[in-house]
A = this chain, B = another copy of it.
């Protein structure tokens, strides 16, 4: 399915208006089922859906590793991802079995269970990287994001070694873009513990926690971090970099992990 759609627009520039063809980014409802039970509908870009499904259920704590997953089938036409798990972990049993108890249906509550379970998982393997490497990675990252350049409507996310972008994903949602990255890393058995995450989006606590779950030691964003993400990054031993643009960046936490 296409990541963009053509639309007819009236383009205004000062006093001039023109009827033109333009493109907008596709917004695609994608519903995930686990063992035939409906879990969630994500609004996303219709690419890397298998990785999105995998990354989402991992981020939400519903699987601990790829070995829990027997099969994923994507029905692209109907926007459905069927995930079959061989065994449920404790959280997924609780999540799926006792829905009378999970009083919070809606945004956030699932996530807060995740916070509780990963509160104390400090980064075990700090990574040291040169500032110049970060600048080089950010330059490559910016060049790659053609969909953003075309539509202005998506977030990009990348998993990188100190030298190269290894996985690159885009999505209308910054959470989805990150989940696609981690879903693919899981599927392809790529170690995330010695890697850098680059993102175009703001770093909120939710983004930080997703990265912490995968033990990513360095997170770099083109945008701003929030207070909660700075506090958590400090505590978890993650080096947090914001406003990484051209020759500039702000390092918020764990300065010694970035070399000059």
Looking at the assembled complex, report how far the CB atom of A171 sits from the nearest CB atom of chain B, in whole angstroms.
11
User: Which residues of A27-65 are within 8 A (CB) of B?
Assistant: 27-29, 37-43, 60
A228 contacts which of B43, B99, B206, B248 (Cβ < 8 Å)? B43
Grouping DSSP codes into helix (H, G, I), strand (E, B) and loop, the A interface class, with mixed when no group exceeds half, is mixed
Residues on B with C-beta less than 8 A from A110 are 105-106
Give A contacts to B, CB under 8 Å.
Answer: 4-5, 7, 9-15, 17, 22, 24-29, 37-43, 60, 95, 99-100, 102-112, 131, 151-153, 172, 202, 204-206, 223-230, 243, 247-252, 255, 258, 260
Q: How far is the CA of A55 from the CA of B52 in the complex (A)?
A: 30
Q: How far is the CB of A243 from chain B (nearest CB, A)?
A: 7
- Which B residues touch A153, using CB under 8 A? 202, 223-226
- Pairs across A and B, CB under 8 Å, 7 listed: A9-B252, A12-B249, A26-B228, A27-B204, A40-B105, A99-B99, A152-B243
Residues of chain B within 8 A of A25, CB atoms compared: 224, 226-227
Residue of B whose beta carbon sits closest to that of A103: B38
Q: Are B40 and A106 in contact (CB under 8 A)?
A: yes
Q: Which residue of B lies closest to A250 (CB)?
A: B9
Q: Is the CB of A10 within 8 A of B152?
A: no
Across the interface, which residues of B come within 8 angstroms of A112, CB to CB?
29, 41
Q: How far is the CB of A255 from chain B (nearest CB, A)?
A: 5
Nearest-neighbour CB distance to chain B for A135, whole angstroms, equals 9
A202-B153, A251-B12, A260-B17 are contacts. A107–B107 as well, Cβ < 8 Å? Answer: yes
What's the Cα separation between A225 and B27 when bound, in Å?
A: 9
Q: Given the complex, which residues of B lie within 8 Å of A42, measured CB to CB?
A: 107-108
A252 to B8, CA, bound (A): 7
Chain B residues with CB under 8 A of A102: 99, 105
In the complex, are the beta carbons of B41 and A226 less than 8 A apart? Answer: no
Is A9 within 8 A of B100, CB to CB?
A: no
Listed residue (A43, A99, A227, A250) with the most chain B CB atoms within 10 angstroms of its CB: A227
Q: How far is the CA of A152 from the CA of B42 in the complex (A)?
A: 26
CB A206 to nearest CB in B, in angstroms, measures 7
- Check if B43 sits within 8 Å of A109, measured CB to CB: no
CA of A27 to CA of B226, assembled, Å: 6
Q: Assuming A25-B224, A39-B103, A106-B110, what are 5 further A-B pairs, CB within 8 angstroms?
A: A14-B247, A15-B260, A39-B104, A99-B100, A105-B105
